[in-house]
Amino acid sequence: TKSTVIITGASSGLGLATAKVLADSGEWHVIMACRDFLKAERAARAVGMPKDSYTVIHCDLSSLNSVKQFVDNVRQSGRPLDVLVCNAAVYLPTAKEPRYTADGFELSVGTNHLGHFLLANMLMEDIQHKENDTNRRVIIVGSITGNTNTIAGNVPPKANLGDLRGLAGGLDGVRSSVMIVGGEFDGAKAYKDSKVCNMLTMQEMHRRFHEKTGVTFASLYPGCIATTGLFREHYQLFRTLFPPFQKYITKGYVSEEEAGKRLAQVVSDPTLNKSGVYWSWNNQSNSFENELSQEASDAEKAKKLWEISEKLVNLS
């Protein structure tokens, strides 16, 4: 029988490319967790995913109620869950004003971090209850841009969570700042901060659950996939110049197809089952265990982030 993987944001870019690789392998049933049902269904058909290899289930990560509803629907589908991939993200680099989730959190951190935080916590119950299986994984897509120990991570505005005061206040722009560190809204920074949260969450889950449950927790930077919808809100000039810049100058460019193969490896390759790892790939496309920046590997910050996030999504 096939294993089951949930991929959030599987309607485009990296998520879709990964869904395609796994569906084509014949070994996986892909649950596409998407906010736009029709778009996801069309995307799956357009890339030629076999009809019985996937199910689209609605999930809007910018609404905690929608996340809960999604978990209910997954449970009702009766498929035992093997792997969860937290991949969806929004990036608002040109927004002048903050936008908000249904629950009133700044949209980038609310979607990329808090929505996935609730989803991963709820689904731990479903993943760990499968016995005699060594391929149970929770994967959270990270990014180089949140890692200040890299050149890309040093392009301003840099990620920085500070003492998490804005997050603790609820990121609502009324009682607290919309930025985790406090201060004025900056969409590019909010995205980078959310990616640091993703990487910290993966490590905290590893510390809390790996030994107890045997589940593998991993994050990754698949390379710069300069052509995806992630940049849809960026200036047109940026969108024209960014792909060739990444291809010929930084040489960090990867195609959506190659990036999909990389994430699919983290899902299913038996040799990539070590827990707590942040995976990257070298120029020969070989995977290696990469190092995170100081902030993205700060265990104390990870714990604090966890406790605040639990309160915000009403888990504690």
Residues that bind ligand NDP (CB under 6 A): 8-9, 11-15, 34-36, 39, 59-62, 87-90, 111, 141, 143, 195, 221, 224-226, 228-230
Closer to ligand NDP by Cβ: residue 256 or 295: 256
CB of 36 to ligand NDP, least distance (A): 4
Closer residue to ligand NDP in complex, CB, 108/275: 108
Nearer to ligand NDP by Cβ, of 92 and 124: the residue is 92
d(CA 266, CA 270): 9
In order of 103, 116, 131, 142, 289, the CA distances from 63 in angstroms are 6, 11, 32, 21, 33
Paired tokens of 57: 């289930």
Closest-by-Cβ residue to ligand NDP is: 13
Instruction: In angstroms, give the least distance from the CB of 185 to ligand NDP.
Output: 18
Are 257 and 223 in contact, with CB atoms under 8 Å apart? no
Supply the minimum distance, in Å, between the C-beta of residue 134 and ligand NDP: 26
Query: Taking the complex as a whole, how short is the minimal distance between the CB of residue 72 and ligand NDP, in angstroms?
Result: 16
Beta partners for residue 7, in sequence order: 32, 85
Q: How far apart are CA 273 and CA 135, in angstroms?
A: 7
In the bound state with ligand NDP, the residue whose beta carbon lies nearer, of 99 and 130, is: 99
Based on CB atoms, which residue is closest to ligand NDP, 128 or 160? 160
Are the C-beta atoms of residues 43 and 54 closer than 8 Å to each other?
Answer: no
CA distance linking residue 89 with residue 229, whole number of Å: 10
Rounded to a whole number of angstroms, the minimum distance from the CB of residue 221 to ligand NDP is: 6
Closest distance of CB 211 from ligand NDP, Å = 27
Q: In angstroms, what is the minimal distance from the CB of 245 to ligand NDP?
A: 12
Complex with ligand NDP: residue 213 or 295, whichever CB lies closer: 295
Choose between 23 and 213: whose C-beta lies nearer to ligand NDP.
Answer: 23
The amino acid present at 172, given as its one-letter code, is D
Preceding amide of 93 cis, omega within 30: no
